Structure 1
Amino acid sequence: MLPPPHGGHLVHRLLSAEDGARREIEAGELPRIRPFVDQVFDAEKVAIGAYSPLEGFQDAQDVESVLRTGRLPNGLPWPIPIVLAPAGPANAAVVARLRPGDDVALLDLADRPFAVLHLRESFSFDRPGFARAVYGTTDVAHPNVADVRAAGPIALAGPVDLLHRLSLPAGALELTPAETRAEFARRGWRNVAAYQTRNVPHTAHEYLQRCVLEREDVDGLFIHPVLGRLKKGDYRPEVILAAYRALVQNYYPEDRVLLASLSIAMPYAGPKAALFLASVRKNFGCGSYVVGRDQAGIGTYYEPFACHRIFDEFDIGVTPIRFAETFYCRDCKGMA
């Protein structure tokens, strides 16, 4: 059967269309924050349950616990804190006036209110300490560290209500955890393996996916590319999706594979990111998770197989399907 959501409960903080429209009008009277694009994605993913059991942006106690132990205060494994630390003078002026109990409108990339933060706490955001604990470095050449260093000095914590879904490049492929769970159940899949990717498929990707489909303990493969903010050299989301559509529609058995997108910032945190991404896919209904060599790594910051070993340290209720190096064998003219 499908695994329960991480923490046992699938969070749902997306308002109905009627309530969302009403709250969007009311948001015109609220203080306004313009989050960095990554936190816009995070707010939506919290509200649709992708980050269950989180109900909003994490407070100081949560953040300290995650950075120190890799767990929430209740002991549940959670490797990367979800933090809102707005940057820039305009945001700083708003943050300085806020008090616990205030409601704050969060603006999307079109400056339209898309969510409301119910502020419970503001706290000093230790940016170097956060970078060191999550990414293992304070080197600003690391893209996520550069983002952390550019964040504001004050973090805002509290539950988030989503007024409406974001308008994203993937459109209807940006499924919610409730939608994928319903689709898995409709197909009769009991054990679904998630495949994490952020690029167009190449031969090694296809080889790993076919290996997973050949396993007797896997009913279906959930291909779930991350399509968040791009860094230099990344493929555009529409290119990634077009390539995977071609692969799924023309080469894979239609009843064994589901393609959807996940619009979040890619966390290049090596083993911590692998565990985080597996926890997210558990919320989408996946009981198995494919872990390749140096998953979610970048440069030489992480040991290539640390992303395998972290699943032995933290039991998140997901079975890792581990793969080492794959290569093209010139003698046998195939992948090995």
Structure 2
Amino acid sequence: MPDVRIKTLPPPHGGKLVERVVRDPEMARKLMQKCSAVYDIKPTLFKGNPVRNVYREIMSVCYGFFSPVEGSMTKADLESVLEKRRLTSGWVFPYPILFDISEEDFKKLGVGAGDWLLLRLKGEPFAILEIEEVYEIAPGEVAVRTFGTPEHNPEVVKVPFDQKHTGYNIYCSLNPIILAGKYTIINEPKIRPPFDRFWYPPKRSREEFEKRGWTTVIAHQTRNVPHTGHEALMKNAAYIGDIEPSHGIVVNAIVGAKRIGDFPDEAIVEGHEMVHLAGYIKPERHLVTFTLWDMRYGNPIESLIHAVIRQNMGISFHMFGRDHAALGEYYDIYATQILWSKGIPSFGFDAPPYAVEGGFYLRPQNIAEFWYCPKCLEFAYSANCNHKGIYSRYSGSFIRGLINEGVTPPPQIYRPEVYKVVVKWWQKFGYPFNNEKYLKEREERLEVDLPHMELPAHLKK
């Protein structure tokens, strides 16, 4: 496999960047004429709360974040992903990407293989699904096989998944009927503020990297407002290992429905932006972006979708730390680093994901555990700090507890400028963290608006 240290951006995963967005209104009208029925996209609910909206997956597919995936998976692709973490084409892909509907809605639509279905979002035409196959799933089985079990994946899965895990609930809450086929966006959405200035789908991100002269780029995955530990992580990771150093640091925030207790997405993207606006990282080396995805909190499995997304964006290296993209104690805290260091055979990887057929050009930057040392007055690693007995590890729950009590975190935890961003959105929403109210309100507004587009006469019935 080619050496990614060659000074060129890595190729898209699968070899070709998917872009399935029609921008010509006349072409859009012609495509709508071929549709047999209209379906209004609905959120996936768990106990009445939105945990997923398939529109985000459609956006990420059609703008190339999930290349080479082009739509809702066939039954063969679903089985291949669950069994081997590979598409039937052989390319590594970790998660089921499915368009699910209820039996009742399926009967009302009256569609089948060969039909085209117009998908409507916020009352407007949005995308087309070219139905290739219709099949049924058992959502609970899909959920278990997606994340693994202690019996089948003993290397890294510690306890069975349950309803305390947000990602597991997403798959358990799917409808049983799957419509498989390619997506095409025919009414390009407008990204709403403040997300609009952070929208860098793969084609645009690659153009931006070339404009900036970046050929080696490292990704920082985030679902949090950045504390000073994240800042130290970005600064250090860009200068160690094989980076040589990295020309650019790209923050790619996951924007979508998340667990209750996480920060609002608006605060996350603007908080990371403030890191360079306030001068803590040079703006010419730092770019904040986002991907639409309802986070699954899948630790090693989630790291694979992150690799898909970031390699497609043109990113060559990725930071992976302790408990990467995790929730609870389901996985070993170093599961992602185990995967990217030597592989996890029970998940289909006898070698790291960059060393297998159909794997990645992107390379990992596994980060050693670090802490804030009150003696050194800086972030330290076990290899170079002699004060481990007095170190202070950052705790997200501790930080959230401070904020909930109205206590301003000290500058050793949050840059004052970043904390002002937290307060700004706290004042806007009336609460500092995701709660049921936020999840339901954001489902109404989403992250996009759509231009008005008339339905064809035959679909107005």
Given the alignment, which residue of 367, 370, 392 partners 1:326?
370
What does residue 233 of structure 1 align with? 261
Matched, 1:68 2:83: yes
What does residue 114 of structure 1 align with? 126
Given the alignment, which residue of 13, 16, 30 partners 1:6?
13
Give the AA of the match of 1:93.
K
Aligned positions of 1:1-336 closer than 5 A: 1-19=8-26, 21-22=28-29, 26=33, 30-36=37-43, 37-87=52-102, 89=104, 91-94=105-108, 97-108=110-121, 110-136=122-148, 137-169=160-192, 170-215=195-240, 216-250=244-278, 251-311=280-340, 312-313=342-343, 314-315=353-354, 316-336=360-380
1:183 CA drift (Å):
0.5
How far apart, CA to CA, are the structure 2 residues paired with 1:18 and 1:74? 33
- Residue 80 of structure 2 aligns to a residue whose secondary structure is helix
1:107 CA drift (Å):
2.2
1:29 CA drift (Å):
6.3
1:75 CA drift (Å):
1.9
**Stretch moving more, 19-28 or 277-286:** 19-28
Question: Number of matched residues?
Answer: 333
Whether the 8 Å contact between 1:32 and 1:94 is mirrored in structure 2 is: no
How far apart, CA to CA, are the structure 2 residues paired with 1:167 and 1:24? 20
How far apart, CA to CA, are the structure 1 residues paired with 2:371 and 2:238? 19
**Stretch moving more, 48-57 or 137-146:** 137-146
- Residue 261 of structure 1 aligns to a residue whose secondary structure is strand
- Residue 273 of structure 1 aligns to a residue whose secondary structure is helix
How far apart, CA to CA, are the structure 2 residues paired with 1:19 and 1:322? 49
Whether the 8 Å contact between 2:72 and 2:182 is mirrored in structure 1 is: yes
Whether the 8 Å contact between 1:35 and 1:107 is mirrored in structure 2 is: no
Unpaired runs of 5+ residues, structure 1, are none
Question: Would you identify which runs of 4 or more consecutive aligned residues in structure 1 move more than 6 Å?
Answer: none
How far apart, CA to CA, are the structure 1 residues paired with 2:368 and 2:188? 38
How far apart, CA to CA, are the structure 2 residues paired with 1:199 and 1:81? 25
Give the AA of the match of 2:188.
R
**Stretch moving more, 236-245 or 192-201:** 236-245
1:326 CA drift (Å):
1.9
Which structure would you say has the larger Rg? 2
Q: Residues 230 and 260 (structure 1 numbering): CA distance in 2 closer, same or farther, change over 3 Å?
A: same
Alignment RMSD (CA, Å): 1.9
- Residue 289 of structure 1 aligns to a residue whose secondary structure is strand
Whether the 8 Å contact between 1:35 and 1:106 is mirrored in structure 2 is: no
Give the AA of the match of 2:79.
E
Q: Identical aligned pairs, as a percentage?
A: 30
User: TM (normalized to structure 2)?
Assistant: 0.69
How far apart, CA to CA, are the structure 2 residues paired with 1:253 and 1:77? 34
Q: Residues 31 and 18 (structure 1 numbering): CA distance in 2 closer, same or farther, change over 3 Å?
A: closer
Q: Residues 23 and 174 (structure 1 numbering): CA distance in 2 closer, same or farther, change over 3 Å?
A: farther
